[in-house]
Structure 1
Amino acid sequence: MKILIDLQSCQSGSKHGGIGRYSMNLASAMVRNSGAHEIHFLLNSSITEDLQELNAELQRLVPVDHIHMFSSVVPARESDDANKFRTRASEYVREALISSLQPDALFITSLIEGLGDDVITSVGNIFPSCSTAVILYDLIPLVEREKYLNDPRASAHYFRKLDEMKKAGLLLSISEFSRQEGIELLKLPSSQIKNISSAVDEKFQPTELPEEEIKAVKDKYGISDKFLMYTGSFDQRKNHAALIKAFAQLSLATRKGIQLLIVGNGWDGVYSRLRTIAAEAGLEPADILFAGKVPDQDLLALYNCCHLFVFPSLQEGFGLPVLEAMSCGTPVICSNVTSIPEVIDLDEALFDPYSVESISQKIAELLTNESLRKDIRQHGIIRAKEFSWDISAQKALAAIEQQFQPLHSELDAASVPTTIELINKVTALPEAAEATTSDLIALAIALEEVERVRYVTQQQLLRGKTNVGFITTWSSRCGIASYSEQLVKPLAVQPVIFAPYARELTHPDNWNVIRCWHQERDPLKILSARIDELEIETLVIQFNYGFFDFEMFSTFLEQQIDRKRKVIITLHSTTDPDGVEEKRLQRLTSSLSKCNSVLVHSKKDRKHLQQLGLENVSIFPHGVLEHTPRNARAVNARDFLIASYGFFLPNKGLLELIEAISILCAHGVSAKLIMVNSRYPAPESENLIKKAKEQIIRLNLHEQIRIIDDYLPDEESLALLEEADLLVYPYQKTGESSSAAVRTGLVTKRPVAVTPLPIFDDVKDAVFYLPGTSPQDISSGILEIIEQASIKSESFMKVMNQLEGWLKDHQFPEVSARLGELIAARNS
């Protein structure tokens, strides 16, 4: 599996604390124990402090190309409401880049970050939450919300992150206590949380220190002789005051010559408060020492020469200092609450942290009973060996492997949103109106990196898997796009799809789709470069007049042929548009003649190309969808439903059809019309829909005619069309060679009526022809067909029987198999 570890916890405010140490130690151990798994790391390039050092440390663990960085829009810390847009936009960018890397699992070492710094974390916005694992340290702020979540911003931030944590497919707790707390408080199933425990660095071990080193470290921190020690942050749950009071309650004889050393990164205010508590309890200033933050070398020395380590914390997710001290051979006594007892696993070493007397009594017991102190020390050394980062890493990897299955090994891998889709998501954010120009520039830079990573991953996934490329529209509101998708689907080896850039997609792109050219005026240099990089040997090109600049396309074809590629090109139209000199097919004949094969859909097209001097032309049939329609209904000549289908565009005869319905109704025919004609992303489509609605109102047909102009999936469209008694395609003048819409209609096995135009020549045996294109011709033709259908006349049944045979011969698997043979033959 490819596992991506989000290690921003080593860049945040947590980096010098327990979370930062835990994250780095666990990540290092996961690399050591990765076996067949591939470990990658994710960092935030916008957090520059210590970034080079962290990057260098990771390069000692994994190859440099396994370390990835995303760019966020900063400042993004959530303590400032002004950053909301930057935070939310950055969350989308981060997950888009993660998806672009295509890991099988994402492992977030600390999710609840970003309140006071620019760390960006989220779950499930783009990358699947079911493939995301998160470390669960503790739920202390939830349990003690009145202490930790008084600030509304902190509270909102914490609960938002908790909601995201609950979405993760797997939580890895650092203790059994944290696991049980997660199950109970987050209401999660036990199977969703696994305990991987914790450990400490191997440098924490018993060490015989030279006398001079002991003296040096004691002198450095003002230690006179024996000392008790406590290390931790100065959070109120750490219970420093109770420890000081308990130390003060010791008899003078017991604590004679002993000091209390408190280690941790405090500040003047907290030191002053605790010194006051000590003084009020009867302690002298020299009895209590505050070491502040100490370097690891000193910490190891202090653990090793400490007489007793006392840990009175009220709440912990694990209690790492307890394990550190035990690992160094220090006698340890600690709280009997939360996770701490499972770390030490010895009742004799526990006390009640809520009772100053209990703490004091346990300290006195250890200071006056040398045999017990030695027993606890020996137990600690043995117990500490049961914890190791390797064990925790192995548990983490096993849990991830068990919970998640590899997602992205094939070309039909989970999709990644395009840059346009990402922009649409970000601009749809409620906070988008707050974005500044500098925010948008930073966002553009971040998205550019996402696009780069996506392409690099595509190359890695695709190189060597196929040598066939398709150049076509894809996942767009275009008949050729739908045709190409159906044609490609049954192929044994999926080709690389070189598609044009698109603002709107009908469905997300898979990993074999590379968008690298613009329709119309594009020299296609980027397209050519992508073909070269993937070492494509055979190109299958879907051509339509509006796709390419002819001069540039001709140059592109010549280049591909010069590079010894096999080129198969399908011309979906061969009729030059009126008055557009630069779109004359004659301009392409030289380059087309050098292609291995030019495919067309009709005899008329083949004849036209042969007249232009092309000899490498073959007829290639269109395909139809695989679909099992419901049983056909009997047609009623007095009460029937007519349907139209396709795009709402001029020359489709839709206004004429509306008028034909009016004529039928005027003659007493009870006819209704459902127009399953989707809006095309062009002004002429919008204008035509508006005219159609006005016409329906003007002709008082609002009860007879229903317009559905949404772009529907094929199955939804077919379900609507199957309700009809007759499908009508009343096309007017068109230069298209064939109609994908009529082929979709035919698979319903309903009667299909068309106007007498060459575009329907390829389906002539399977359709009924209307006498003309005018509203009168359309209405009279419809009436004639319905009458013939009602009596199942011989002519009607002949066409319906021919339809069955036509469908059998034109199923996409059959057509696709022919293309596969053609590709194989051209490759031989």
Structure 2
Amino acid sequence: MRLWFDGQCLQTASKRRGIGRYALELIKAIAENHGNVEMLISFNAAMPVAAISAREAVRAWFQPQNIHVWHSVRDNGEIFDGYKDQRRLSEAAIVHHVDALAPDFAISTSPFEGMVDAANPLLKLPGCNVPFASIFYDAIPLRFPKHYLPAATHERAYSRRLEAHRLFDLNLCISEFSRGELLDILGDVTAVNISAGISDVFGRALAEDAEAESNTPSMPYVLYVGGLDWRKNVGLLPEAFALLDVSLRDRFRLILAGDYPDAALAEIKQRWRSHGLRTDRLVCHRHVSEADLVRLYRGASLLVQPSFMEGFGLTALEAMVCGTPVAAARAGALPEVVGDDRLLFDPCSAVELARVMTRALTDSQFRSEIIESAAARAQRFNWTWTADMVVTALREHLQAVSTSAGDAASPPVGKAALPAYAKQSSVLETDREVAATTFALSEPVTEPGRLIVDATSTMQSDRKTGIQRVVNKICHRMFAEPTATEPPRVLSYCDGPDGWYDAYGVIDFPPDKAVAERLHPRPGDKILMLDSSWTFEKGQAPFFLSARLRGAEIITCLYDLVPLRTPAFCDSGMPPAFASWIRLALRFSTGFVCISRAVADEFHALLRAIDYPHPMKIGYWRLGADFADDAATAPAPAGDDAEKAPVFLMVGTLEPRKGYRVALDAFERLWAEGSDARLVIVGKPGWGVEPLLRRIRESPELGRRLIWHKGVDDAALVRLYGEADALVAASHAEGFGLPIVEAAHFGKPVIASDIPVFREVAGGVGEAAFFEVGSPAALHQALRRFIAHSANGGVSTDGPRPKWPGWAESAAELEAVVVDGNWYLTYEPPEGAAYRPITDIGVTAMSREIGEDERQFALKIVEDVAPGPGGDGLRIVVALTNLSDQVWSSAGDETGRLGVKVAARLRAGGALADNASRSLIPFVLTPGETAFLAVQLPPEARLGQGMSLDITIMQEGCAFWDGSLVTAL
């Protein structure tokens, strides 16, 4: 049997209320207990962000291909706009969508959606080829119209939905009471009681709490769990408490647990005071977790449920399962759940409630009886039984219909040229183009998913180094020749809001948009953001939203987090651009694939630190090495001259983060000690290294003990590796470490800064030593130890060489992650993150002032005063370490307050300047992490004139923190 569910109640405010929780638990129970039932669900694309969150919430119980979207004509809710043609068209469109999917039964999980929002719930229309069932919860608005149907527009919208239940083939009611209500209101309709149970999450929390050490409350209490709206009748509780014997009033507190608006809570507190009750005996718990709720239930002496009407009575059942007695109103479905008339009271009588409370709180024999009987009764209510009832009722209906229909022919489902529901005058009178588009968009997409690989930046400007080199190598292997492998591969290009285009496998230049096919996302697509796409947000975001809405995966390649960790060593425009890009990627990505395990671990730690509220797949693959493809031969052995003076090789673009300044400092110390050690640098000048280049060119050792090759071919690089005694890698941060891989290939020892990725890739190196990041002194000692060890014959380059993948193998490893699902790990969000919108990426901005006792940090100067890149003033580079347990960010509230920044103020003659320069944390600085930030000296700073610089942390609009770092200029 194929069942289809209307998922819109998981897109509206109902998702956090009883209706949404009920629908989700029913879906889960059927999925887990009826494996022979194929389940489908659809969401309304008019609410795209909510549809993505809902898709995420149900992903465990539906096959990806069975999660669909349909498109309504958006409006603002029926009570605002009335029952207009747009809503009629949308109602026909969802029926057409269901007809096209052709399930055996379609279940409208909440026919009353769309009163105040853009939802258009499934209502049966003439001409439907599929049997329809509803879930009926209650008729509370009809029974209390003064409170819930205040205007004629409300009444019309509600009544239309209630009357629609006459047309449903089957009505699934959540209690015998709700079934009786439906029959009383509508008369002869088909309705069955399917009941309810407690959630798995609640059950797990209960089991965990039962295993924990008993936590006896300091003062006994009576508990109320639920809302404060009118029908909940919570105002009866203060009145009943006032009628209790004074000994009970002094002994017991009343605890309210629920998400309460301030105004409603203030009204209850006022009622409590008006009855002369002690204010310390009323306690409110707002925003409680399932674990907290279980503890409150288990610690309570009594749960009171005074509601005028409930469709089921879940809080009563939860308390009974926890072994807590329940006093409940003799109204709605509560008597059905509680099952003991001795615990019931008239919801209009505080006297009756006080009498029931007194007996339940003071009569120990009575308490024992009701606790035991309640535990037995609670076993009758469970989701497995409910799922069985639903499946049985649906199958019996289908069997009855099949038997009565006999062999009569029926039109093929979803194939009618113009179904009856599309022939309504209101639909036909709508703009025909709008109607045609709406119906077309409501038909399920059947085209196969693809692997779409973005290479926009490389097509625009292939610098053949860094990320562009990786993109080029990978794409040339993925798209070298047509392949019949699944899924189909598409090389894509997007440089603006006009869309994504097929580049037809050609990476050497952008496609001609005038003739190239424009790409539209499909369900099942895997979109691999292989390139550095940091400046194309305007074109990416709309495509990503559309792709996620349809169930496509968006997988982002993460090469490193260098711009966030070491912004001082990047072009000034890179950290904010990268931070904006990472926010975009966190909003839309379903997975991140990294170029090393170290980057994957670092990214996973970041997600955990910011309480990222969505699941995320994380993988990594190894980059290829050219020597593996080119079968480079081993270098020739070094000659006698090389043996007399140790040779150390550094390979890589000259950039601040590569640590060349650290290396020069260390080698100059060696040379000052009389060492003949040579430093050979291979790398072209990069960004922001003018002072470094000047230092190299003006060094008296240049051409003697300091050798610089701006660029060499592969053969020359092989020769230089052969002449070297060891490789030095002094980077402050990296995503990979190709020179270390090359050194391992050629059997050379490595002396590297102690960063995780260097330890990872150095695993195949025969001998590797690590030194403190950014410390010339530590590198100097490491070099001395190596030289001494080598002189004593302790360094061996013999032994097996590690095998590293070439680019063909690298591309295969990447596809194994992205296509085959060979993920390293999956991040799971913290409890309570369900339905958080994709725009919510966790704790990435400050929301409060940090207290003095929480201002724990360390500041250290990494580079002393020097001209900034491009001669842009003077600056100092500092390392800021977050020693607190809070996430810090330079982003604050909407007024600009609260952001955490590094502040620098001039001090002249003992006086501290009022103005401070500010250095920003690009994204976040998580507990225990260090960021390298450039502190810009104020323009009025003068060197050698008795000035000093006072560097500390400040929280914008709050305070400068104690513990400043003072350095003379």
Instruction: Compute the TM-score of the two structures, normalised by the length of structure 2.
Output: 0.43
Q: Max radius of gyration: which structure? A: 1
- In proportion to residue count, which structure has more helix? 1
Instruction: Compute the TM-score of the two structures, normalised by the length of structure 1.
Output: 0.50
